[in-house]
Amino acid sequence: MCGIVGYVGHRDCTDVLINGLSKLEYRGYDSAGIAVFNHNQKIHVAKSKGRLQNLIDRMNQDGKPTGCAGIGHTRWATHGEPSDINSHPHSGGRVTIVHNGIIENYKEIKDYLADKGVTFSSDTDTEVAAKLLDYNYNGSPIETITETIRDLEGSYALGIIFADHPNVVYAVRKESPLIVGVGENESFIASDVPAVLDYTKDYYLLEHEEIAVLTESGVQIYDSFGRKIQKELKTADWDVEAIGKGGYEHFMLKEIHEQPTAIRNTIMPRIKDGLPNLEECGITLDTLRNFRQIFIVACGTAMHAGMVGKYVIEKIARVPVIVDIASEFRYRNPIVGEGDLVIIISQSGETADSKAAMHLAKKMGAKTLAIVNAMGSSIAREADMLIYTHAGPEIAVASTKAYMVQIAVMYLFAFEMALAVGKIDEDECRRLVAMLEETPEMIERLLEKKEMTQYIASSLITADSLLYIGRGLDYALSMEGSLKLKEISYIHSESYAAGELKHGTISLIHDGMPVIAVATQKELFDKTVSNIQEVKSRGAKVILICRDSYEPETNTADLKFGLPEFDDLLMPMIAVVPLQLIAYYTSVHKGNDVDKPRNLAKSVTVE
């Protein structure tokens, strides 16, 4: 989603803005722009549709703004197509802004302003906010901002400059995230910490409707009534290397390789005496005994992690689990309330639908548990209980290591839950935990045999469409494998419960159509093999992900990726790795932009 950067300080502002925006590219965008106070104190705007490089090329051609204060933006189109005119910054006369989020009542405001004679040149809600700020402007930026935000409905993070207040940057947010970086004689605003890490690790987290003012002499923060407030300065524990590619061709490949470390960082602090211990997250055995049912609510990959969680929790703790897509949960009037636990899984902690689902669950009296990667994000701050995953920054749009640690947490949680409700004893729990602890090493070994996944990927690049099939936990995994492939390879793919195929979908199978069959569950193996034979005999080219020990007959599979022997329950932790690699190499073979697939955004902060 859109990225915001702002700067006031002694460096060349344009360089800082472009560098910061490049660190936010992972969020997904389709145009970029900056507004800088030039040395003559006039605002110079440069913007362009397309990649950041297009903006740089345009500035090289038309002249680069030079100054020491300004704002920058990468836009992910919501209102109006990606175009130069719709790109940010937008000006409303004396006010120029960049915006992340959606102003829901922009139409009413636009009509109101149009009645007053205000004209508009773009299709965006952002221009409406800029014009409203200008309309309300009374010479005092703080008063104008506090007055204007009362009229804005929806979500926003705004970076604002006023033509008659040169070299000062203002910022305000509601729902959409914004941090204020604090360096030596310089300050920053940004949608996310990586944008400022080259300059500082110290930052403030701006809360709802707080206003930041960045000047040469430092940062001041005000509340929504315009009163000065003091805030706690935080220090990022990420370093610059963590957000670099570290020698890998793509962030996605780097992040796939970081999975063993991410698992260790996430689970080890939560294991004491061989048993799960989630007390620091506010979860005890007593807490867990009292829930009558569990909802897991999330979007995309995080929802797929929830699917694995459902199978594992129900299998070993025998507590009912409903997995919901957050955008469905929030509008389907769910039967949820006191006595229920609602788990929200989110890498970014800012996903609009997941956040809204959490608010609804709280309102209806359920307890909420957030499983979140981004420190200090909205979902992390607002949930009743919180388990941070420690994947570190995930830059590739296609999530890999965040999914891995989400499922690792699902396992720990399920083990603790099963212990709490007396479905397993401590010895069994220790056995399960010990297996979970083995997974990083197993993944390390799997990552050494990538060739087969490269070969499988090369066989997929001409496909128009394919299916992923599996049963039980393998079905949950198939969902993730399929999403990963389609989002970065642009090949249509669906995941299907293997036993359900013959109720309609099997008619899609034609000669040579690839079917990726995940068959890691011993219990269900023979059943899945029967389903594989059904598609194989109709011409499908079957790629089988199964235990190494299984030697497929010719009527079962064309290609096989072999997995080591492991307990059925924990197989997803390792079986997802070849699925991620197949998606990755297919995208690479097709020459796609692996880390920044078209139309996608990393953090989906709008509905």
The site for ligand F6R, by CB under 6 A, has a size of 14
* Residue 283 or 398 having the CB closest to ligand F6R: 398
Applying CB under 6 A, among 124, 148, 351, 556 the residue interacting with ligand F6R is: 351
Rounded-to-10 torsion of CA 113, 119, 124, 130: -60
Contact set for ligand F6R, span 470-529 (CB under 6 A): 487
Nearer to ligand F6R, 346 or 587 (CB): 346
**Closest Cα to residue 293, out of 281, 273, 310?**
310
Q: Which token pair is 228?
A: 């000065």
First to last CA, the chain: 11
Q: Is the bond leading into 89 cis (omega within 30 degrees of zero)?
A: yes
- Whole-number minimum distance, CB 483 to ligand F6R, in Å? 6
User: Minimum CB separation from ligand F6R for residue 399, in Å?
Assistant: 3
Question: To which residue do tokens 């706690």 refer?
Answer: 232
Candidates 287, 346, 521, 605; binder of ligand F6R (CB under 6 A) is 346
> Any idea of the CA torsion for 77, 83, 86, 89, to the nearest 10 degrees?
100
**Structure letter (DSSP) for residue 118:** -
Told to judge if 299 belongs to the known catalytic residues of this protein, a careful annotator would answer no
CB of 310 to ligand F6R, least distance (A): 16
| Residues belonging to the chain | 607
**Site stretch for ligand F6R (CB under 6 A), options 6-14, 297-305, 514-522, 579-587:** 297-305
Binding residue (CB under 6 A) for ligand F6R from 68, 98, 308, 398: 398
Is there binding between residue 603 and ligand F6R (CB under 6 A)? yes
**One of 296, 299, 417, 606 touching ligand F6R (CB under 6 A):** 299
| Binds ligand F6R by CB under 6 A, chosen from 86, 100, 191, 347 | 347
- Is 122 among the residues that bind ligand F6R (CB under 6 A)? no
What's the closest the beta carbon of residue 398 comes to ligand F6R, in angstroms?
Answer: 4
Within 61-120, the residues that bind ligand F6R by CB under 6 A are none
Amino acid at 355: K
- Interatomic CA distance for residues 87 and 308, integer angstroms: 40
Q: How far apart are CA 532 and CA 544, in angstroms?
A: 9
Query: Considering the complex, what minimum distance in angstroms separates the CB of residue 426 from ligand F6R?
Result: 33
- Whether 362 is catalytic is no
Closest residue (Cβ) to ligand F6R? 300
Q: How far apart are CA 505 and CA 469, in angstroms?
A: 11
User: Quick check: 410 binds ligand F6R (CB under 6 A)?
Assistant: no
Report the C-alpha gap between 498 and 228 in whole angstroms: 60
Among 146, 259, 301, 605, binds ligand F6R (CB under 6 A): 301
Work out how close the CB of 457 gets to ligand F6R at its nearest, in angstroms, rounded to a whole number. 17
Which one of 103, 297, 302, 336 is in contact with ligand F6R (CB under 6 A)? Answer: 302
Which lies closer to ligand F6R via its Cβ, residue 133 or residue 391?
391
| Least spacing, CB of residue 405 vs ligand F6R, in Å | 11
Query: Which of these ranges, 223-231, 271-279, 342-350, 454-462, lies near ligand F6R under the rule CB under 6 A?
Result: 342-350
Taking the C-alpha atoms of residue 402 and residue 263, their distance in angstroms, rounded to an integer, is 10
The Cα 110–Cα 414 span in angstroms is 51
Closest to 260 (Cα-Cα) out of 472, 590, 599, 573: 573
User: What DSSP state is assigned to residue 160?
Assistant: E
Distance (Å, whole) CA 478 – CA 560: 15
Closest-CA residue to 259 (of 394, 435, 433, 371): 394
| Alpha carbon distance 68, 168 (integer Å) | 10
Binding residues for ligand F6R, rule: CB under 6 A, are: 299-302, 346-348, 351, 354, 398-399, 487, 603-604
Give catalytic residue positions: 2, 602
